[in-house]
């Protein structure tokens, strides 16, 4: 699984970071990006990453299998 943050949509709520800090990180402006784990999400975080999609108010998170 890969996960991406659409930087144009992201408004910096950081709910994703609160839920899966192992994958999402805040940048210097408080918007989220995915770290290296986003390129190949470890199986133990896949469920929480899926949850982050529904928790993002801006629908800025996308996953690819
Ligand atoms: S929850 Fe969505 S809008 Fe908020 S920081 Fe994360 S990706 Fe961005």
Structural domain range at position 17:
2-64
- 65 vs 28: CA distance, rounded Å: 29
Into how many domains does the chain fold? 1
| Ligand 1 midpoint to CA 16 (Å) | 6
| The pLDDT of residue 23 | 98
Global pTM exceeds 0.75: yes
Q: Which two tokens stand for residue 22?
A: 């192992």
pLDDT tens, residue by residue, 12-46: 999 999 999 999 999 999 999 999 999 999 999 99
* Mean of pLDDT values over 1-5: 98
The model's confidence at residue 10, banded by pLDDT at 50, 70 and 90, is very high
CATH number at residue 34: 3.30.70.20
Residue tagged 């998170």 (tokens)? 61
Ligand 1 pocket residues where CB is under 6 Å: 5, 10-16, 32, 56, 58, 60-61
């Amino acid at each position: 699984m890969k996960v991406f943050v659409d930087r144009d949509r992201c408004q910096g709520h950081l709910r994703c970071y609160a839920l899966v800090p192992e994958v999402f990180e805040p940048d210097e402006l408080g918007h989220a990006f995915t770290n290296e784990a986003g390129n190949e999400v470890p199986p133990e975080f896949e469920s929480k990453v899926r949850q982050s999609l529904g928790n993002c108010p801006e629908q800025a998170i996308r996953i690819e299998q």
